[in-house]
Amino acid sequence: MNSADGAAVVVGVDGSAQALRAVRLAAVEADRRQRPLRVVHAYIWPLLHVSGAPPAGGPPGSGLRQQAHRIVDEAVDEARAAVADLPVTGEIIDGGAAAVLLGESLTASSVVVGDRGLGGFTSLLVGSVAIQVAAYADCPVLVARGTDRTTGPVVVGVDGSDLSRLAVQVAAEQAAWRDTGLLAVHAYRHPASTGPGDMQPLVHQEGALRGEEERLLAESLAGLADRYPQVPVTGQVVHAKPGAALTEASRRAQLLVVGARGRGELTGLLLGSVSQAVLHHSDCPVAVVRGPH
Domain boundaries, the chain: 9-144, 154-289
9-144 and 154-289, same CATH topology: yes
The torsion defined by the Cα of 101, 44, 42 and 20, in degrees rounded to 10, comes to: -120
Q: In what order do the strands lie in the sheet with 182-188?
A: 88-94, 37-43, 9-12, 110-114, 141-144, 286-289, 255-259, 154-157, 182-188, 233-239
Reported pTM: 0.84
CA–CA distance, 36 with 131 (Å, rounded to integer): 25
Please, what is the average pLDDT of the chain? 84
CA–CA distance, 115 with 146 (Å, rounded to integer): 9
Q: Answer with the residue of higher pLDDT: 134 or 199.
A: 134
Task: Check residue 210 and give its pLDDT.
Answer: 80
CA–CA distance, 242 with 220 (Å, rounded to integer): 16
CATH of domain 9-144: 3.40.50.620
Specify whether domain 154-289 bears CATH 3.40.50.720: no
Q: What is the pLDDT of residues 6-53, one digit of tens each?
A: 799 999 999 999 999 999 999 999 999 999 999 999 998 556 555 556
Cβ-Cβ contacts under 8 Å for 110 (sequence gap 6 or more): 1, 9, 10, 29, 139, 140, 141, 142, 287
3 state DSSP class of 245: helix
Q: Answer with the residue of higher pLDDT: 64 or 156.
A: 156
